[in-house]
């Protein structure tokens, strides 16, 4: 597709062919954990229509560019453009622009903005400035990457997660952008709370409510329960839309053996009083039959969890290679009865 911001026509969302006939699965996802799981699901469920509803609470504007880290991680992972070692950003990345910005003293210098990656942010920002909503921008970017799933931002409205912390210098409480807390401070400052700035005015992006309404299964990826899945579910109307689904709702634990497999998600859970265990996260999501979300909850084979009202299953949950990830996705589909 030609991307021309002076063109008043809007790109149409790709509608999957044979939607009526084929199975539909909706996945709520964050960045790395969500992307890897989705990659496994695509291979475990060939021919199935998959819609990924992706967290945009991590989005940030830096150097005048709109950056959507979780959407990009999913898009690059499914489009085979990801750096597999880092788990984010482009393979074969170079950092010339980042170094040049630092030479100007242009803050922030702590965010990894690669040269290849920059092209994505340039195209996205250009389209947003021209008036395209993020959902259509995401579709347009996906025409290059062909992720094999319908990639939807949770919302077209801007929602940015901020973290309430105590400034070590002044001793005062302040809210800083999630990226500043996560990357600059390596999540070292104790979070008192997570705030979704702008969420009151947000609504699910076009296609999200419709996808839940016809889904044969909804899967909560093993993503961060607070700042990935929690942020998506915080969009007004999202929870209700999810619960309207005729399919079963299955979650996968991001906690294995009492700790996060990779990353720093354990820094987020205590702020919401969630115990760092598969049981703790399962209970936080709760049973659908009891005002919560889950019909089934998958925990790692070495873990146990008692989540009242939920079908708890212990299966291997380590995404160590494509075959293991595919098997994990298959287990989620089994738990969903599809
Ligand atoms: P982010 O936005 O890049 O932080 O990614 P997500 O929110 O999608 O996923 C981060 C979560 O993935 C972390 O909390 C990890 O606990 C979880 N995770 C990463 N790798 C694995 C894995 O192999 N197995 C399981 N069960 N969880 C994982
Ligand atoms: Ca993220």
CA of 88 to the centre of ligand 1 (A): 12
Residue 32, both tokens: 């790395």
Q: What span, in angstroms and rounded, lies between the C-alpha atoms of 84 and 105? A: 30
Residue 94 to residues 24, 83, 89, 277, Cα–Cα distance (Å): 38, 12, 11, 38
Provide the residue-wise pLDDT of the chain in tens; the chain has 338 residues: 455 544 433 333 344 443 434 899 999 999 999 999 999 999 999 999 999 999 999 999 999 999 999 999 999 999 999 999 999 999 999 999 999 999 999 999 999 899 999 999 999 999 999 999 999 999 999 999 999 999 999 999 999 999 999 988 899 999 999 999 999 999 999 999 999 999 999 999 999 999 999 999 999 999 999 999 999 999 999 999 999 999 999 999 999 998 998 888 899 999 999 999 999 999 999 999 999 999 999 999 999 999 999 999 999 999 999 999 999 999 999 999 99
**Nearest ligand for residue 60 CA:** 2
**Nearest ligand for residue 327 CA:** 1
Q: Is the distance from CB of 134 to CB of 61 less than 8 angstroms?
A: no
- Provide the pLDDT for residue 160: 98
Q: What span, in angstroms and rounded, lies between the C-alpha atoms of 269 and 13? A: 36
**Nearest ligand for residue 265 CA:** 1
Q: Is the shortest distance between the CB of 262 and ligand 1 below 6 Å? A: yes
User: What's the CATH number of domain 24-158+203-336, 2.40.30.10, 3.40.50.10680, 3.30.70.100, 3.40.50.300?
Assistant: 3.40.50.10680
Sorted by where each begins, the domain ranges of the chain are 24-158+203-336, 160-196
Q: What span, in angstroms and rounded, lies between the C-alpha atoms of 134 and 124? A: 8
Handedness of CA 40, 41, 44, 46 (dihedral sign): negative
Q: What is the pTM of this model?
A: 0.93
CA of 20 to the centre of ligand 2 (A): 32
- Provide the pLDDT for residue 2: 52
The ligand 1 atom at the shortest distance from the C-alpha of residue 255 is 16
Q: Is the shortest distance between the CB of 253 and ligand 1 below 6 Å? A: yes
Identify which of 113, 42, 54, 131 has the alpha carbon closest to the alpha carbon of residue 79.
42
For the stretch 258-288, what's the b/e string if a residue is b when 16 or more beta carbons lie within 10 angstroms of its beta carbon? eebbebebbbbbebeebebbbbbbbbbbbbb
Identify which of 67, 87, 28, 101 has the alpha carbon closest to the alpha carbon of residue 177.
67
- Provide the pLDDT for residue 263: 84
Residue appearing with tokens 């395209």: 132
């Amino acid at each position: 597709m030609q991307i021309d911001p002076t063109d008043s026509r809007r790109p149409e969302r790709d509608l999957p062919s044979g939607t009526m006939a084929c199975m539909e699965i909706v996945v709520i996802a964050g960045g790395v954990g969500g992307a890897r799981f989705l990659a496994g699901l695509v291979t475990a469920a060939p021919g199935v229509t998959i819609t990924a509803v992706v967290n945009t609470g991590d989005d940030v504007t830096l150097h005048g560019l709109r950056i959507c880290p979780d959407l990009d991680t999913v898009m690059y992972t499914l489009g085979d453009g990801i750096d597999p070692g880092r788990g984010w950003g482009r393979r074969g990345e170079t950092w010339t622009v980042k170094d040049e910005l630092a030479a100007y003293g242009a803050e922030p210098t702590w965010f990894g903005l690669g040269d290849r990656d920059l092209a994505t942010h340039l195209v996205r920002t250009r389209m947003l400035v021209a008036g395209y909503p993020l959902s259509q921008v995401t579709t347009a970017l996906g025409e290059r990457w062909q992720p094999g799933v319908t990639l939807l931002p949770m919302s077209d409205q801007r929602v940015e997660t901020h973290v309430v912390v105590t400034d070590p210098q002044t001793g005062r409480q302040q809210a800083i952008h999630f990226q500043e807390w996560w990357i600059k401070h390596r999540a070292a400052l104790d979070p008192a709370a997570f705030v979704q700035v702008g969420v009151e005015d947000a609504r699910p992006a076009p296609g999200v409510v419709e996808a839940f309404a016809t889904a044969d299964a909804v899967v909560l990826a093993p993503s961060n329960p607070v700042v990935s899945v929690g942020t998506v579910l915080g969009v007004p109307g999202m929870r209700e839309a999810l619960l309207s689904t005729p399919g079963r709702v299955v979650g996968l634990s991001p906690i294995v053996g009492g700790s996060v497999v990779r990353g720093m998600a354990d820094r987020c859970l205590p702020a919401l009083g969630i115990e760092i265990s598969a049981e703790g996260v399962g209970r936080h999501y709760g049973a659908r039959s009891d005002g919560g979300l889950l019909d089934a909850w998958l925990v790692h084979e070495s873990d146990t969890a008692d989540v009242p009202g939920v079908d708890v299953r212990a299966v291997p949950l380590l995404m160590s290679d494509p075959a293991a990830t595919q098997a994990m996705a298959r287990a989620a589909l089994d738990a969903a009865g599809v």
